[in-house]
């Protein structure tokens, strides 16, 4: 089965431990929600998967097409080229490049460069707004547009798995709705595999087939819709730390 597996992951910054014994898994075509309020380690987890934060223990394995790749040994750009894309917190577009240049930059990575024109067409069909604004500087777009561009940029790398870090941050509620709608659309029509960190919780849970709740760097809930019903209230209580786990 194609999947990303995280086993007993410990990670942090220098002597500050943030993630403790995190175990989770994301299977092909799944939408997994990673829930937790501010400061509980969601970004640290995604950044560790992408190689920006070095694991201090445990394993991060990409099991795909009969191959197992140990991501912990790779550098960030190599991890992207192994098929794990990140839509980072704060989007991290290149501000002085145009929309199209941002897309082409990602599309020219070794993994995707043979499909670059097909990927670009796909992004422009999926997000017509980006096509209209292709010559505009990324920094001059609104927050919501930038978020869509960051998602499109991740698509340009032909990902097997897309990690999305709090796409709702800093966006007006109506725009958050549009961004989630775009993600949902991608997930349902393209069967894209997604791991999304969120605290804007109900929308995320609606989409998810599975959910994990991260609290102080520990996974305190792991819920699989295929096995049990997701009780949003229970999840929300866990996430808010309203009860002990």
Partner 1 sequence: MFADQFINAIGTGVMLGSIYAALALGLAVTFGLLHIPNIAHPAFVIAGAYVVAMGNSYGLDPLLVALLALAPFYVAGLGFYEFYARVFERRGSADTMNALTLFFGVSLVLETLLLMRFGTNQQSVSVGYVGQSLTIGLLSLPYRLLVPALLAPVMVAALWLYLRHTHTGIAVRAVAHDERALSVSGIDPRWIKRHAFGIAAATAVVAGAALIIIGPVDPFGGRLQIGRAFAVVVLAGMGSIPGTIAAGILIGVSEALVSAFASPSWAPAVAFSILLATLALRPQGLFGARR
Ligand X SMILES: Nc1ncnc2c1ncn2[C@@H]1O[C@H](COP(=O)(O)OP(=O)(O)O)[C@@H](O)[C@H]1O
Chain positions contacting Mg ion, by CB under 5 A:
42-43, 89
111 binds ligand X per the rule CB under 6 A? no
90 binds ligand X per the rule CB under 6 A? no
Residues 6+ positions from 88 with CB-CB distance below 8 Å: 46, 47, 150, 165
Distance CA 209, CA 225 (A): 5
Among the residue ranges 32-40, 67-75, 153-161, 178-186, the one whose residues contact ligand X (CB under 6 A): 32-40
Binding interface with partner 1 (CB under 8 A)? 50-52, 75-78, 80-81, 85-86, 88, 92-97, 101, 104-106, 108-113, 153-154, 156-157
Q: Are 99 and 141 spatial neighbours (Cβ–Cβ below 8 Å)? A: yes
Among the residue ranges 42-50, 76-84, 102-110, 184-192, the one whose residues contact ligand X (CB under 6 A): 42-50
- Residues in contact with ligand X, counted by CB under 6 A, come to a total of 11
> Smallest gap, in angstroms, from Cβ of residue 16 to ligand X?
5
Q: Is 219 exposed, middle or buried (0-12, 13-18, 19+ CB in 10 A)?
A: buried
Element spanning 226, H or E = none
Q: Which residue number, 42 or 133, has a Cβ lying nearer to Mg ion?
A: 42
Residues 6+ positions from 230 with CB-CB distance below 8 Å: 205, 208, 211, 223
168 binds ligand X per the rule CB under 6 A? no
41 binds ligand X per the rule CB under 6 A? yes
Q: The dihedral of CA 88, 90, 96, 101: what is its sign?
A: positive
> Smallest gap, in angstroms, from Cβ of residue 241 to Mg ion?
17
């Amino acid at each position: 089965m194609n999947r990303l597996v995280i086993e007993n992951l410990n990670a942090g910054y220098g002597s500050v431990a943030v993630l403790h014994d995190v175990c989770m898994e994301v299977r092909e075509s799944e939408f997994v929600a990673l829930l937790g309020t501010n400061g509980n380690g969601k970004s640290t987890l995604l950044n560790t998967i992408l190689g920006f934060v070095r694991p201090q223990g445990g394993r991060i394995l990409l099991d795909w097409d009969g191959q197992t790749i140990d991501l912990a040994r790779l550098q960030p750009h190599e991890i992207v080229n192994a098929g794990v894309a990140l839509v980072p917190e704060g989007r991290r577009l290149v501000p002085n490049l145009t929309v199209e240049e941002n897309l082409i930059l990602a599309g020219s990575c070794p993994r995707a460069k043979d499909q670059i024109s097909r990927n670009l067409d796909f992004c422009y069909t999926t997000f017509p707004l980006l096509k209209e604004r292709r010559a505009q500087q990324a920094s001059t777009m609104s927050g919501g547009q930038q978020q869509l561009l960051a998602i499109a940029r991740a698509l340009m790398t032909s990902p097997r798995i897309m990690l999305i870090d709090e796409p709702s941050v800093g966006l007006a509620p109506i725009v958050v709705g549009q961004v989630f709608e775009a993600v949902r659309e991608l997930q349902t029509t393209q069967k894209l595999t997604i791991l999304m960190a969120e605290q804007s919780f109900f929308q995320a849970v609606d989409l998810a087939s599975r959910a994990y709740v991260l609290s102080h760097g520990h996974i305190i809930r792991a819920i699989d819709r295929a096995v049990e019903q997701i009780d949003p209230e229970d999840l929300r209580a866990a996430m808010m730390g309203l009860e002990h786990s």
